[in-house]
Structure 1
């Protein structure tokens, strides 16, 4: 469990856990956490071997850098998501293998398994393609996250959001696991999809179906 009493340390721990899981390699991926006066985000070129709490970058709601360092090239996307979804406090972006593979097919993760309802609906959408590091990518991600806690980014990767870093991390793990299982099922045939009525029943048990409410 990620302890958020010290947010800089919690972000560094999250980056390390993501890399330990194999979700990010090299300098790929980024993490942000809402704070008073904007967000803390990982710097450009960050990975678990070189990231320290002191290297995190404070970006205000207008995009001004309020500390030393250069924020991740995806700061526009993180800022757009936090602005659009006030109940989200943490944003995790990874290039996890199965999510990337599905995103490169530009396919959503459909209702092949009841646990897809945990993300807020009948599927996990794949956002339309936009160039990395642009405001358009932020707009695309915001669109795909409507009433969801995660989305895929076409030809790129994935996004998970949560009230806490731990919630966003667990959503990341769940999405990568289900994406891998879906791709495995596709190798054998076309998975049977659960009907919308069943996904709604399951979603109500999770308590967040179609509401945009975040767990954690």
Structure 2
């Protein structure tokens, strides 16, 4: 299955900027440590390296190819462009890749813990847990390979000693998943204080996955019932 690339328009570019600003406003990220990309007909549209979100303008987004390195004479893309490129190739059904360092996700990532089925919303990420991607240096081929392998059938992951990444059918859906992922991380951490959460069984999660096929509005991201 493949979703069509997003149009490379001012509106699309502004949506990427708005998502970055929303991440920081909702305390899902800090500074310029996050980045977002969208697959477009010309390749991959991605945020530039090290530019404050409030200073971003639509014409500052950087276009990189779907394969191979960016043009070294043009604007510098996010330092995370390699794994964005890898995920766009591995997951053509998900036109948007969103990466950030949400506080609770980052705590679990530093502990190198995945998120088990402590809550049924784990199903929003495509499986019975939110997986942890093995550590590798940012920008490295090893990180690209690790990310692509884990995200083959998932919509989100934690990254060891790093942060979190989610995929989306739209920019809004990706931002929604990031917020849900941070809520799950918080729930898992808090329920582990002084005890351990009760984990849903494989049979219980199978029921959730079936229910999720018709969960929420037809076109908008699902919301808590």
Alignment length, in residue pairs?
Answer: 208
For residues 49-89 of structure 1, give each alpha carbon's deviation from its aligned partner in whole angstroms, at most 9, with x where no partner exists: 22111111000112343583100010000000000011010
How is 1:143-182 mapped onto 2 (pairs within 5 angstroms)?
A: 143-182=149-188
Residues of 1 paired with 2:22 and 2:111: CA distance? 27
Pick aligned residue for 1:80 from 77, 81, 86: 86
Question: TM-score under structure 1 normalisation?
Answer: 0.91
Gaps of 5+ in 2: 1-6, 215-220
Task: Check conservation: 1:57, 1:65, Cα contact below 8 A.
Answer: no
Structure 1 contact 41–58 (Cα < 8 Å) conserved: yes
Q: Aligned with 1:188: secondary structure?
A: coil
Mapped partners of 2:94, 2:169: distance in 1: 5
For structure 1, list consecutive stretches of 5 or more residues without a partner in the other structure.
Answer: 209-214
- DSSP 3-state at the match of 2:200: coil
Give the 3-state SS of the residue equivalent to 2:86 in structure 1.
Answer: helix
Distance in 2 between residues matched to 1:183 and 1:32, nearest whole Å = 29
User: CA shift at 1:118, angstroms?
Assistant: 1.7
Which residue of 2 is the match for residue 140 of structure 1? 146
Query: Which 10-residue stretch deviates more, 45-54 or 181-190?
Result: 45-54
| Residue 135 (structure 1) shift | 1.8
CA RMSD of aligned residues (A): 1.9
Distance 2:115 2:51 in 1: 29
TM-score scaled to structure 2, two decimals? 0.87
Tell whether the 8 Å contact from 2:90 to 2:152 is kept in structure 1 after alignment. no
Supply the distance in 2 between the matched residues of 1:47 and 1:172 (Cα, whole angstroms): 20
Select the residue among 109, 112, 125 that pairs with 1:106. 112
Aligned residue for 1:18? 23
Distance in 2 separating the partners of 1:61 and 1:121: 27
Determine the C-alpha separation between the residues in 2 that align with 1:164 and 1:57. 18
